[in-house]
Structure 1
Amino acid sequence: MNRLLFILFVFIGLACTDKTASEIMNDQPERDTDQAENDESAFSYLALGDSYTIGESVSEDQRFPVQLVQGLRNEGFDVKPAKIVARTGWTTDELAAAIKNENLDESYNLVTLLIGVNNQYRGRSADEYRSEFKELLQTTIDFAGSQTQNVIVISIPDYGVTPFGKSRDPEKIAKEIDAFNTINSEETQQANARYVDITAISREALNDEKLVAGDGLHPSGEMYRRWVDKILPEATEILESQK
């Protein structure tokens, strides 16, 4: 009898810890508990985006914001763990709505923004993207203490080169991603913020399967590392200017 009860309790415990994919996406990353967490003098970093920022299908330490923080620490900066506001599937309007519901600080030393792939995937118009992206960029700048040069906009990667994308008209995907990137680049330049183009790096996945995560769609940790190699010099300049 005791053995039957034990098996029953184990089964119930496993059932309670099981989550659907959508529930997992709703989880925000746990905050690191290192010393920088409570150090008021440490630099703060806010990362806004979608699946590419939350790091769908990779471990937490391989997400690009987490790798970027580590890169900055390796450069000698005392940086708090990244505050990430991102979820797989978010479009520009969904990110904007989520930001309003987050308990965010008034300003951060560094803010990154990467958004738009789901607008393209859902067939939303370029005009709508421009309008909503422009508003999001202003929100991003506000979180950077209105210091435009403390904001880094990251281009949208091209998922058409992935196993998932190859079956969904990769030429059309590439053309539309380029159009959306033209928009976010123009708006970033107009706002005098920083821009890092990682789209060309994303296209290297066409001939390098280790750059794609196990789900056949999202970037691998190695891909994110290559992105960080391009983002890090800009982020370093931003924090250096605030010493």
Structure 2
Amino acid sequence: MKKVFYFIGFLLLLLNLSCENINETVTQTEDELPIIDTPIIEIPEDTNNTPENFKLLSLGDSYTIGQSVCETCRFPEQLKDSLLQNFEEGTTFSLQVIARTGWTTTNLIDAIASENIPPDFDLVTLLIGVNNQYQRKDFSLYETEFPAIVSTAIKAVNNDKNNLIVISIPDYAFTPFGGGNTNISEEIDLYNEFAKDYCNRNEITFLNITDITREGFINPNLVASDNLHPSALAYTKFVERLLPLSLEKLK
């Protein structure tokens, strides 16, 4: 009889131990889930070291295309080369020039329309108007068409007018061709004053380079071999003023 009691007691003991183990397992699973340490990754402040690809657009006439100087001597090409020297290795600059000798504002408007310019340029320069003056076009034409060209140029830089630079018209009176004709200078001033005032009122960058070309008699090296247009040296002086503005806008 004692053996029976011992056996029953042994069974009860086993049963009790099994319940305790089950409770411990459940308790650990539901209330004491293991904690996984997640590593903390520190992100540097500046991780963008990828070289950039900039697109430049220059609109104008003979002063932009570089009449009577080599292709790399014209100011848009000199500007592109100067910009390259101020960015890290691997950065590229593509340049599109829409300009031709003799173009008036009307000609430039027509040319831009045929080009279907995309709105993804990073910087645009505009220099136009001398042929309106030279061809004796009515000044009212410039008053109407210059703002239209500016609007189109702004669209080319994704509607960011800060990335447009309007350049003043050179004064060809200070060349052998112009012969110091003061009427030319007065009329060039009229065009430039209108452009400058329009840009100031609309918070658009306007760069004066006319004074450089008015040193043509003092320094003949500023005049190209055709005795009319700016030389490579003159364009270098243009770029000396253009470069800081361009860097500010691109950086």
Q: Provide runs of 4+ in structure 1 moved above 2 Å.
A: 103-107
- Specify the SS of the correspondent of 1:172: helix
Q: Which residue of 2 aligns with 1:135?
A: 148
Structure with higher Rg: it is: 2
Aligned position for 2:195: 184
Q: How many matched pairs?
A: 200
* Structure 1: stretches of 5+ with no match in the other structure: 1-38
Deviation of the 1:135 alpha carbon: 0.5
CA contact (8 A) 1:69 1:79 kept: no
Q: Is the 8 A contact 1:72 1:79 kept in 2?
A: no
More deviation, 89-98/203-212: 203-212
Q: What is the alpha-carbon distance in structure 2 between the residues aligned to residue 170 and residue 82 of structure 1? A: 35
**Counterpart among 133, 136, 158 of residue 145 in structure 1:** 158
Whole-angstrom CA distance in 2 between matches of 1:60 and 1:218: 14
1:92 and 2:99 are equivalent in the alignment: no
Over aligned residue pairs, what C-alpha RMSD do you find?
Answer: 1.5
The yes-or-no answer on 1:200 pairing with 2:206 is no
Report deviation, 1:103: 4.4
Q: What are the Cα deviations for residues 32-84 of structure 1, in whole angstroms up to 9, with x where unaligned?
A: xxxxxxx9940110000000000000001101000000111111162423100
Whether the 8 Å contact between 1:48 and 1:112 is mirrored in structure 2 is yes
Percent identity over the alignment is: 43
Determine if contact 1:66/1:81 at 8 Å carries over to the other structure.
no
Report 1:55-66 matches (<5 A). Answer: 55-66=66-77
Could you tell me which residue of structure 2 aligns to residue 17 of structure 1? Answer: none
Per the normalisation by structure 2, the TM-score is 0.77
- SS of aligned partner of 1:83: strand
Structure 2 runs not aligned, ≥5 long? 1-49
- TM-score w.r.t. the length of structure 1 is 0.79
Higher helix share: 1
Please list the CA deviations of residues 127-186 of structure 1 after superposition, one character each: whole Å capped at 9, or x if unmatched.
Answer: 2211100100111111111111100000000000101111xx610000000000001111
Q: Which has the higher contact order (CA 8 A, sep 6+)?
A: 1
